[in-house]
Structure 1
Amino acid sequence: MLPLARPALLLIALITPLLASASTLSQQQVSARIQQNLENHLYQLPPRVQGHYGIRLYRMTGDDKYANSALVDLYAVTTSQAWNACQADAPAFIRQAAQLAISKLGNGPRAKARKKALKSFPDFLFYADKLLRPASRMNELGVTGPCHHKLIRILKQQDLRPALTDKTMIRAWAAQLANYVYWAKQIGVGDYRDAYKKAFLATYPESKDGKLSQAQFRNKIYGMTHFIFAASGYYQQPVSAAEFGWILDYFNRHIDKIIADGTPDIIAEVGISFLLTDQADHSVVQKTKSAVMAAFDPKENIIPSPKGNPSLTLGEHRNVLALMLLNWPEKLHQGPLLAKLKVTRKHLPAMVNAKKIDDTSAK
Structure 2
Amino acid sequence: MLELRKSKTLSYLLLSATLFSSVAFAKESVEKTSHNLTADQVYQGIKTNLETNLYALPPRVQGHYAIRQFRMTGEAKYANGSLIDLLTIAERQAYYSCNLDKPGFIKSESKIEADKLGSGPRAIARKEAIAPYPNFMLYSDVLLRYASRVDEFGFTGPCHDLMIKTLKNANLEPALTDKKMIKAWAAQLINYVYWAKQVGVGDYYEAYKKAFINTYPDSNDAKLKKSQYKNKVYGMTHFIFSASEYYQHPVDPKEYQWILEYFENNIDRILTDTTEDIITEVGISFLITGNGDNPVVAKVKKHVIAAYDPKLMMIPSPHGKAELSSGEHRNVLAMMLLDWPETLHKGPYLNNISSTKKYLPKLVKPKASMNDAKSH
TM-score (norm 2): 0.90
Work out which of the two has the higher radius of gyration on C-alpha atoms and give 1 or 2. 1
Give 1:5's aligned residue.
none
Confirm or deny: 8 A CA contact 2:352 2:374 kept in the other structure: no
Give 1:45's aligned residue.
57
Give 2:328's aligned residue.
316
Q: Percent identity?
A: 56
Comparing 171-180 and 91-100, the one that deviates more? 91-100
Q: Does 1:214 align with 2:226?
A: yes
Distance 2:273 2:290 in 1: 26
Q: Does 1:339 align with 2:351?
A: yes
Give 2:159's aligned residue.
147
CA deviations 1:180-201 (Å, max 9, x no partner) are 0000011111100000000000
Confirm or deny: 8 A CA contact 1:303 1:310 kept in the other structure: yes
Distance 2:349 2:152 in 1: 7
- The match for 1:300 among 299, 304, 312 is 312
Alignment map for 1:104-115 (pairs within 5 Å): 104-115=116-127
Q: Does 1:87 align with 2:138?
A: no
Give 2:129's aligned residue.
117
1:357: Cα distance to partner?
2.7
Q: Does 1:179 align with 2:194?
A: no
- The match for 2:365 among 319, 330, 353 is 353
Q: Does 1:203 align with 2:215?
A: yes
State the AA in 2 paired with 1:362: S
1:89: Cα distance to partner?
2.1
- The match for 2:241 among 229, 242, 248 is 229
1:206: Cα distance to partner?
0.2
Give 2:256's aligned residue.
244
Give 1:8's aligned residue.
none
- The match for 2:287 among 275, 298, 301 is 275
CA deviations 1:303-324 (Å, max 9, x no partner) are 0101111110000000000010
Confirm or deny: 8 A CA contact 1:22 1:293 kept in the other structure: no
State the AA in 1 paired with 2:183: R
1:226: Cα distance to partner?
0.3
- The match for 1:134 among 136, 146, 152 is 146
TM-score (norm 1): 0.93
RMSD of aligned residue pairs (Cα, Å): 1.5
1:21: Cα distance to partner?
5.5
1:339: Cα distance to partner?
1.1
Give 1:163's aligned residue.
175
Structure 1 unmatched runs, 5+ = 1-13
Distance 1:313 1:243 in 2: 34
CA deviations 1:81-125 (Å, max 9, x no partner) are 111111112341111101101111111111111011011111101
Distance 1:323 1:338 in 2: 24
User: Aligned residues, how many?
Assistant: 347
Distance 2:358 2:199 in 1: 25
CA deviations 1:182-236 (Å, max 9, x no partner) are 0001111110000000000000000001111100000000000000000001000
Give 1:4's aligned residue.
none
1:356: Cα distance to partner?
2.1
1:242: Cα distance to partner?
1.1
State the AA in 1 paired with 2:249: Q
Distance 1:246 1:163 in 2: 24
State the AA in 1 paired with 2:51: E
Structure 2 unmatched runs, 5+ = 1-17, 24-31
Give 2:79's aligned residue.
67
1:361: Cα distance to partner?
3.0
Q: Does 1:191 align with 2:188?
A: no
1:362: Cα distance to partner?
2.1
